[in-house]
Structure 1
Amino acid sequence: MESSGWLCLLVFATLLLKVAADGNCTRNSTLVGLKSDFLMVQHQLRGSLEILDDCKFRVTKFDMLAGSDVYWWGALGEDFENMTTGFPVSSYRLNQTYKNDTLEITLDRNYTWDQFNVLSVWDKPTGSDFGHVLLEYYIPETPVDGPPPQISPAPAPGPSAWAPSAPPTTANEPAPSPSVPVLTGEKQPTMFENCISLTPTYRMRWTLNAAAKTIDIGLEAALSKSQYMGFAWAQPGIKEGFMLGADAVVAGMDEKGLPFAEDYYLGDYVECSWDTSSPAGVCPDSIYAGGVNMGANNTRVVYGQEVDGITLIRYRRAFQGVDATYDVTINSTDSMQVIWAMGMMKPPDLIKHNRTPQYHGPTYGYRMLNVGESVDECVGPMVTNTHQTEVVVADRGTTMVIGSDVAVHYPNPPFPKKVLYINQKESPLLRVERGVPVDFSIQAGHDIAFYITSDPLGGTGATNASGTIYAGGPEAHGVPVLPYPLTWLPDRSTPDLVYYQDYFMQKRGWKVEVVDGGLSDMYNSTTPLADNRVTLFWTVNNNRIYLAVRGEVKSGYLAIAFGSGMVNSFSYVGWIDDQGVGHIEAYWMDGKAAARIHPTGEELSDKKCETKDGIITFEFSRPLQPSCTKGTLCKNVIDPENPLKIVWALGDVWTSDELTDSNMHTEFSSRSTLIEFQRGAAKVEQLQPVLAVHGFMMFIAWGLLLPGGVLGARYLKHLDNNGWFQIHMYSQLSGIAVMLLGLLFAVAELGGFNTRSAHMKVGLASIFLASWQAANGYFRPAKSAPGEAQPRKRVIWQYVHMYSGRTALLLGFVSLVTGISKLAERDGVGTMKPLQWGLFAWFFAVAAVVGYVEFQGLCSKKHQDTVVFDRILGSEEEPQELTPRSRGGAALFFRDKDNQSSPSRGMEIQLEPLR
């Protein structure tokens, strides 16, 4: 009895202490009663905050993926400096995954609401903001159904997010009592009243605004690039074939990372025909409306983001459709049939200004839905294996270029304005191998010192934080013109996870993943291909070559091709099917369409294809010389002594069955990479400035000077003092000089003559003829005296000079065209096609002017008798007399062959004796 009395006394004392503690929580703060939403930054954090009194707050509908050591964090502002110098305001730790939970938290005794302006969910070891709420509010004078006014400062969007111009519409909230003010904070677009789960990786959320007769819909899914989310309302009353005639929205992120949500009409089970006169298939409403009713899109994008690999698109539409033909009116009080789908999507192009959804395959479904009922089927965050951070692998013999630039998609918010870049990628995950030296070229600026550390935050020089430094330090800084070289050798004692950071400021770098030996140890040579998105490994052994190809970004398939482009090349594709099985196949590609990709049936050995974190790696071996005697496959020869051009492509979906346009690549190399397998040497082909100068000089010679000299000799003979001859002479000599100088540039760049190409053969022939023209102009026979017939040698020379000049011009033009083609083939430059068209336009413009002048001459009776001989022979009469001023330079080279003086050409008369 005595012990039970003591127990009762202890319980009573505890209750008294709790009541006393609760009594100390006054309601004096101006923030008491505030209701606001958490901004999602990462870890799929959602939730709504309500401040209960001066020391307690409640969080409802709380979702969050687990962190390592997470606290409720207070900060004076939401900028980087204030957030990183914040403090934990409660001892309550959030070290688990939360699924639609409700929490009631008490502030520590030494903190009050007026000591901080931002309440954050903060992971302390990594300095990560999972999400936060700004402790500001407004008091609405009257109940409103539209969006609340903006408050300042407004929370910044999370990583890869596109911030809306205004917060979304609030739901049907009861009107506040006139005597009790309602403190309303920021309404976040990631928060909705209702949610249904369509698949484990696809959800549909919504919030009704009955007064405005609108609905906000959020489509949320784990999407890859070039995928779409589709959601549609079926026509009322139908019992089957729900898709036909449905009012659909196609949503996703475009190639620029911006959200879209467009109104489509499902007219048939095929892709859109894009024929405004007779549209068919899955087309935008505007196409069915004749291409002129752009207001047919009755959806408006409110918000879009991509966080932790999950895409969320929030859009708004009215209950009532814009038109009765293509829109379905939403009944907010009754059940309706809805359809959903996910699939691949073609981006807009010059012809089609809208996106083209592809066939969804098995990823679709339908169900009944009453949007007026309260539904919450979405419990917890949507987990995905997709990683947003790019990966850079430090292979043996490669150099990691360390730079700095403005932070855009830094993987660990909050972040400073400028962060570290590796190989032009913003703060990627760096993967290194133990025992493989890593070479860095540090050129991030003298205000950033690079180092490898065990401290996740870095900034040792500014914070004096503890942590092991493995490489670099305060001296490791440089600029592009004078980089700082640094070599680091990870060994067995190096932890699996370390960090590259700036010695003087926190959170400018990211993670370094240290792994045991990999592809670098298995192959003799390695090189990143153009654009650093794919890495190639190889070993040449006797008559076989062993190849490994690794993507550096996530993708559905990975392909390489031997050639300057995918067209007319042999390609190898590695992909993982729906069952997780890896495949490698060889193809011959003779066109860009899917139907022009042909399996070769080439037997590959040592095949292996796998994926890790969305990164595909495949390996195979093949003989250098195919074992065949005829057929296309016999052309697939690898000569390890000579450079071979290799390009790459990445895409979302591949199959061993019949290929379609949905299998087209989403990324591809901008240039080819030249690889000499035997030497282990590689070089990304680039536009050579010397060859560009060569081409420009050849155009000046063959496109301007030489044709100008010929046209001057033909049409300017009416000039006084034989001006046409000097124009002809100086133009031709200048053109030949420029031409020979351009030839020297090309020979110096290429290291000599290579007559195997058609361009070189045609070019040398045109240069020979141009030089021949100068020589036979110098050694031309003298003309006869006025009134006498021209000598036979003179007539023959006129024919030879005329036709060899015309042939030289023709060959020169062909040489210009083949030169542009050769440069495009050598450097993989896609901008050469416009240059070719520009050259053709110049040629046809000159030809049109010449044709017009010739036609006018033929139609002019005045010139018919005086120019017939010139039009047949193209006779070129050199000046009979040069002034002393003109007897020098080129005039002495083309010296006067005739000593007889004669009147001007217009006064020349030839008389024949009477018989």
Structure 2
Amino acid sequence: MKIAVVPHVSRFDMLPGIDVKWWSAVNDDVYSFLSGKTISDAKLAGLYSNATMEVTLLKGLAWEDIKVLSVWDSATASNFGHIILQLNQSAPPPTSGGPVVEAPNFPPTLGPSPLLAPPPLDDGSSSPPTSSMMGNWEPTMFENCVALSPSFRVRWTLGVVPGTVDIGLESALTKTQYMAFGWAKPGITEQYMIGADVVVAGIDDKGFPLSEDYFMSSYSECNWDKSKPAGVCPDSFFAGTTSGLNNSEMLHGQQIDGITLVRYRRPLASLDINYDVSLNASQEMVAVWAMGSLAPDSMRVHFTPQNHGLPQGVKYGYLNLTLGSSLDQCFGPLPASNASQGNIVVADRGTSLVVTSDVAYEYPNPPNPRKVLYINSKEAPILRVERGVPVTFLVQAGHDVSFYVTSNPIGGSGRSSSKIYAGGPDAHGVPTIPYTLKWLPDRRTPDKVYYQSYFQKKMGWMVQVVDGGLSDMYNTSHLLADGQVTLFWTLTSTDVYFAVRGERKSGYLAVAFGSGMLNSFAYVAWIDDKGNGHIGTYWITDKDASGIHPTAEELFNKKCERVDGVITFEFSRPLKPDCQSGQECKNVIDATSALKMVWAMGDEWSVNLTNGNIHTIVSTTPTLIYLAAGAAKVEELQPVLEVHGFMMFFAWGLFFPGGAMAARYFKHINQDGWLRIHVYAQTSGVFVTFLGLLFAVAEVKRLEFDNVHTKLGFVCLLSVCLQAATGFLRPPKDRGLLRTVWEYFHLFTGRTLLLLGFVTLFTGVTQLGSRDEFEHVRTLEWSIVAWVLALAFTCGYIEMHDFWIRGQKSYTSSGSFRQGYTLGDDEDDSTELITPIQKESDQGPQNQLEMRGTMVPP
């Protein structure tokens, strides 16, 4: 029997398309959709929000002839959504539920899909069909929905598995943000977040969905202290286990067109009485929710949700909710996030675009074949070209894929009316022998064309053709480190003009002059809530918001815009700032030297900074910009300055102090042994010092005296040369006063130089941290302090011990020679300077003192 009823469609949401219609196909693969057909004269034009309509089939069609029903845009071959239909000969009246056919973890229910429910009769009752059409129940379908905020919804279905509830969290998120939803502790009347049982969900930085059970003991991030856990931490962390307490079961996760949906299942009654809240479906309970950012660069197994911030109702909130109630308060599609991730490749002058093919993961215009085109390692990106700027493609997608640019959004050679702008059946190649294809868009090129495979359909995507811009306006351009930001510049005799363009969507974009963001001058561009662009100048001294200091630097020709979520900003500035005071006066650009530049991106920026403004993506290494030469290269970081510091520590922390201690305490070895140790150690120290200096000069390319470390280092270098020279010019002992003056000078100059050397070592570590953002600088500083204290303690102990022994022994008539802790008659420099030492041959056996030393008091 043919089903001739007119389907009654309700709760219909759809974003606007070009030529959208009701469509049927024999299967749900790409080739079946492409060979499908229109089933109704009804046109779907504009935006639909919770709409109700009736669909009348074309003459001669019946519902049992339709296997797959789709909302299809013929202009772009885009599938807006579809259901697979099957005939149910004895279906009961429609219910609020829906069938679940052959879907893992979603067992079948009894009701037909509400999409194809028969229309009500005139008296309001449902018609009693003997047969109807059923659709597969998908993991994105729920029975209930509540809008928590304009951009956050919670959906749920009870009893898919008895004793459980399936919850879906839906929001416009980036891959660095989270959604949190759960229940407040029963009986609490304020501060609902404290003691709440929530699930944190989202998409991680690798594109995988996540959901985990968390407990909130305080309004702070998790401290990850196993002995005293506190904050927003996983249940398992509070319990001290690695598994077993995560009561949220991940079922489905996706991020499509900027909208993230995560579906998870949790039991109504939980055995975890400490960190979970048991749910009563028929009882009204307080639900809490929040949205925020995940802590960046986390190396932990679990994720760290950061504070959600303000305001209430947008970033966080609470509501009274009864799970057993039937609620549908979600109307229309959610607005996509402007900061959602997307693939955009810009064809710049003088650069080549590498075209390859690989497996499809996130093709932007489904349905799609298994293999699609990649450009510059990005899957089917939007390619943006400029009129008048030549574009070079290196086609190496294989000999079975011929590349071309066409007006046909689907590709393939089937449409004879399609215009070909570049390429064709011969444009194919492999990595070893790529095919070079050149294309010059001109004013006759439409604003939108497509790159596709000449023989296969739907392998490529869109080409946006814009009027000439940055590549034409600036003399030089270069892709900065990591390939996420492009810098353009033009240099004059007094000024430099910059343009910075992100290669991915972001909330703000920043570049800075320096080896890292710390101790750098940064330029940050962002778009406010009203759509106005801003460019701010900052001096950054720390990684949190308190270390970001606005400056009064004056910029000219400022322009900031965001197109499809990608920020581009331009400005010009003098090479030497025209100012007399302020930190910005130090921001001088030397066009003849390499300018180090780094970049960062994040989700949002504002005038009143918080830790939420900290970047989520940052360049891994600086890029060296040669403004005058019109060139740039990624800096290949070598640990040259670290080697310099290591060698200086050997010289000033080991050789020089060791030689001084040998002269002071080792004269008991023999007459010449201590002197040899002293001379060898000091000579080695001088040699290592000069070698370390060469390493530093080779790294910075010149001698600079613009900081305390280099100035102290220069003083130490001159002083150690003078000290070494005076050591080799030591007068003989029989020169009397001259020898005495030399000994005093050599003694006190050496000790002063040691102290100055230790200070220089300390300032060197500090300078390394400020120059290269060395993360262990504090540890090294304290290590140097500890080493100096250890040396001082050792010398102090020996001196005090010797002083104590001398106080216990009687003095001889010839002086205060030591009888117990005896290290030699020449070790006391002050005694030697006052009383010249007699030669051993002039002493009688009876007056000769014992020269042996012992390390313990007698």
TM-score, scaled relative to structure 1: 0.65
Structure 1 residues 518, 466: CA separation in 2 closer, same or farther (over 3 Å shift)?
closer
Any residues of structure 2 matched to 1:744-823 within 5 Å, and which? Answer: none
Q: 1:508 aligns with which of 459, 483, 495?
A: 459
Per-residue CA deviation, residues 427-453 of structure 1 (Å, 9 max, x unaligned), is 211111112222333344444433222
1:304 is displaced (CA, Å) by 0.9
Whole-angstrom distance in 1 between the partners of 2:380 and 2:464 = 13
Q: Which residue of 2 aligns with 1:636?
A: 587
The equivalent of 1:498 in structure 2 is 449
Change (3 A) 1:604 1:442: same
1:581 aligns with 2:532: yes
**Residue 576 of structure 1 aligns to which amino acid in structure 2?**
I
Query: What letter is aligned with 2:181?
Result: F
Q: 1:322 and 2:274 equivalent?
A: no
Distance 2:477 2:497 in 1: 12
Instruction: Establish whether residue 604 from structure 1 lines up as the match of residue 555 from structure 2.
Output: yes
Residue 167 of structure 1 pairs with residue 105 of structure 2: yes
Q: Which amino acid aligns with 1:679?
A: A
CA distance in 2, matches of 1:86, 1:233: 43
Alignment of 1:325-364 (within 5 A): 325-347=274-296, 349-350=298-299, 354-362=304-312, 363=314, 364=316
Q: Identify which range, 465-474 or 216-225, moves more after superposition.
A: 465-474
Provide the residue aligned with 2:392 in structure 1.
439
Structure 2 residue 162 is matched with structure 1 residue 212: yes
Partner of 2:145: 195
Q: Which residue of structure 1 lines up, in the alignment, with residue 178 of structure 2?
A: 228
SS in 2 for 1:255: coil
Paired with 1:424 and 1:686, the residues of 2 have a C-alpha distance of 23
Kindly indicate whether residue 398 of structure 2 is the aligned counterpart of residue 450 of structure 1: no
- The superposition leaves residues 595-653 of structure 1 with CA deviations (integer Å, 9 ceiling, x where unpaired) of 22211222223333222222122222222112234443222111122220111000012
Residue 537 (structure 1) aligns with? 488
Alignment check: 8 A CA contact 1:229 1:343 kept: yes
State the secondary structure of the residue aligned to 1:229.
strand
1:473 positional shift: 5.2
Counterpart in the other structure of 1:92: 39
Counterpart amino acid of residue 377 in structure 1: Q
2:750 is matched with: none
Corresponding residue of 2:333: 381
Residues 1:642 and 1:612: Cα distance change in structure 2 (over 3 Å):
same
Matched with 1:264 is 214
**Cα offsets for 1:171-215 (capped at 9, x unmatched):** 6869xxxxx999987531101111122233221111001872211
Supply the distance in 1 between the matched residues of 2:503 and 2:360 (Cα, whole angstroms): 21
Report matched runs for 1:405-420 at 5 Å: 405-420=358-373
Question: Any gaps of 5 or more consecutive residues in structure 1?
Answer: 1-18, 26-51, 141-145, 155-165, 175-179, 703-742, 764-810, 842-867, 869-913
2: CA distance, partners of 1:661 / 1:587: 15
Task: Give the whole-Å Cα distance in 1 for the aligned partners of 2:210 and 2:143.
Answer: 22
How far the C-alpha of 1:124 sits from its partner, in A, is: 3.8
The equivalent position to 2:479 in structure 1, one of 521, 524, 528, is 528
> Match of 1:646?
597
Question: Does 2:24 correspond to 1:72?
Answer: yes
Q: Name the aligned partner's letter for residue 581 of structure 1.
A: N
2:615 aligned with 1:665: yes
Structure 2: segments with no counterpart, 5+ residues: 91-96, 113-129, 652-692, 714-756, 784-823, 825-844, 846-858
Is residue 627 from structure 1 mapped to residue 578 from structure 2 by the alignment?
yes
TM-score for the superposition, normalised by structure 2: 0.69
2:204 aligns to what?
Answer: 254
Match for residue 305 of structure 1 among 238, 254, 258: 254
Over aligned residues, Cα RMSD in angstroms? 6.5
What code does the residue aligned with 1:511 have?
Answer: M
CA distance in 2, matches of 1:263, 1:833: 33
Q: Which residue number in structure 2 is paired with residue 396 of structure 1?
A: 349
State yes or no: 1:371 paired with 2:323: yes
d(CA) in 2 for partners of 1:585, 1:216: 46
Work out the number of aligned pairs and report it.
781
Counterpart CA distance in 1 for 2:459 and 2:585 is: 52
Pick closer, same or farther for the CA change 1:185–1:522 going to 2, 3 Å. same
State which of 670, 677, 684 in structure 1 corresponds to 2:634: 684
Is the 1:67–1:96 contact (alpha carbons within 8 Å) kept by the matching residues of 2?
Answer: no
Residues in 2 aligned to 1:459 and 1:760: alpha-carbon distance in whole angstroms = 67
Measure, in 2, the Cα distance between the counterparts of 1:234 and 1:258.
28
| C-alpha distance in 2 between matches for 1:308 and 1:296 | 33
Inter-CA distance 630–64: structure 2 relative to 1 (3 Å threshold)? closer
- 1:754-796 deviations in whole A, cap 9, x for unaligned? 9999999999xxxxxxxxxxxxxxxxxxxxxxxxxxxxxxxxx
Q: Give, in whole Å, the separation in 2 of the partners of 1:277 and 1:337.
A: 31
Distance 2:184 2:695 in 1: 69
Deviation track 1:360-380 (CA, whole Å, cap 9, x = no partner) reads 533133333222122222234
How far did residue 501 of structure 1 move? 2.2
The residue type equivalent to 2:510 in the other structure is A
Of 401, 405, 412, 1:459 maps to 412
Distance in 2, matches of 1:748 and 1:473, equals: 54
Deviation (angstroms), 1:238: 4.8
Counterpart in 1 of 2:795?
Answer: none
Residue identity matched to 1:322: L
Give runs of aligned pairs for residues 121-136 of structure 1, distance below 5 A. Answer: 121-133=71-83
Distance in 2, matches of 1:147 and 1:379, equals 19
Assess if the C-alpha contact under 8 Å between 1:341 and 1:360 holds in 2.
Answer: no
Distance 1:183 1:318, change over 3 A: farther
Counterpart residue type for residue 404 of structure 1: S
Aligned to 2:838: none
SS at match of 1:92: strand
Q: Is the 8 A contact 1:570 1:587 kept in 2?
A: yes
For residue 477 of structure 1, what is the aligned residue in structure 2? 429
Q: CA deviation at 1:566?
A: 0.6
Could you say if the C-alpha distance between residues 207 and 149 of structure 1 is closer, same or farther in structure 2, counting changes exceeding 3 Å?
closer
Amino acid at match of 1:452: V
TM-aligned CA distance change 1:139 to 1:342, over 3 Å: farther
Q: Residues 504 and 750 (structure 1 numbering): CA distance in 2 closer, same or farther, change over 3 Å?
A: farther
Match of 2:827 in 1: none
Task: Work out the CA distance in 1 between the residues paired with 2:360 and 2:628.
Answer: 41
Inter-partner Cα distance in structure 2 for 1:472 and 1:236: 68
Match of 1:15 in 2: none
Please give the secondary structure, in 1, of the residue aligned with 2:546: helix
How high is the sequence identity, in percent, across the aligned residues?
Answer: 49
Mapped to 2, the partners of 1:437 and 1:323 lie a distance apart of 64
* Correspondence for 2:437: 486
Structure 2 CA distance for partners of 1:679 and 1:574, relative to 1, 3 Å: same
Q: Which amino acid is 1:340 matched to?
A: W
The verdict on how the C-alpha distance between 1:240 and 1:439 changes in structure 2, with shifts beyond 3 A counting, is same
Distance, in Å, in 1 between the alignment partners of 2:712 and 2:435 is 48
Task: Label 1:507 to 1:353 Cα distance change in 2 as closer, same or farther (>3 A).
Answer: closer
